[in-house]
Amino acid sequence: MKKLTIIGNWKMNKNSQETKEFLDVFNTEYLNNKEKISDSIVFGIAAPFTNLYLFNKNDKLKSVAQNFSNFSSGAYTGEISASMLKDLNVSMVVLGHSERRQYFYETDETVNLKTHQALKEGITPIVCVGETLEEYEAGKTKEVILKQLKGSLKDVNDFSKIIIAYEPVWAIGTGKTATAEIAQDVCEFIRKNTAANVTIQYGGSVSPANIQELMNQKDIDGALVGGASLKPESFIKLLTLNK
């Protein structure tokens, strides 16, 4: 089986108690389902900063950040640096999620700065791209994706060190998944415009019911999952590809 990278994105959900409860059930369910989870699946949770320390105790489940600063240290009130994340064994960071682009004014330029900071610090950036419903309906998907790729990944030379998440904005948290054909078509376009060795995730209402079909697509190497990653039983089902 090809290598798959499946990451849950918890957004601003779960306090420390709720995180501990998730991990307790997850650890038990993981042992119960271990033989159904392929060794070629890499998995983790992008949790709020304040709870990342709780993932330290679990060697299988990677701790992933949802954002970080493009600066190394200094007078940047409210920011979190790469070295602070590395203290907590964080190995990946989600960058340019559409919610950060929409509500916190992140641009391709800031995503590009953060991508280079992550690469410099040895943290794998998961760079999100995706079109809005309006752009999708106007047939502009590939034009938008190309612009985001060019801006967010400017001067990136080694694509084997990054993950690109294709997340159509109209599919995030809406229950509307892109069909496997649409997702494959856009992910193939992303690979052609980056490099053969880049890891490409699909995200947008991925669930136990549709994960297998999506992961079977040639150019889809994993998933970035919001809602369906919040319950341990459901997250396990994503990892077993619903077996």
| Residue partners of 157: CB distance under 8 A and separation at least 6 | none
| DSSP letter for each residue of 118-162 | HHHHT-EEEEEE---HHHHHTT-HHHHHHHHHHHHTTT---GGG-
Minimal distance, residue 177 CB to ligand PEP, in Å: 8
Residues in the chain: 243
173 binds ligand PEP (CB under 6 A): yes
225 binds ligand PEP (CB under 6 A): yes
| Binding segment toward ligand PEP, per CB under 6 A, in 14-22, 29-37, 116-124, 222-230 | 222-230
Residue 213 is among the residues annotated as catalytic for this protein: no
Residue 167 is among the residues annotated as catalytic for this protein: yes
Contact 26, 45 (CB under 8 A): no
Residue of the chain from 4, 47, 178, 224 that contacts ligand PEP (CB under 6 A): 224
Crossing angle for the helix pair 232-239 and 16-33, nearest 10 degrees?
40
The catalytic position among 121, 137, 167, 233 is: 167
Residues 8-27 that bind ligand PEP (CB under 6 A): 9
| Binding segment toward ligand PEP, per CB under 6 A, in 138-146, 200-208, 211-219, 233-241 | 200-208
Residues serving a catalytic function are 97, 167
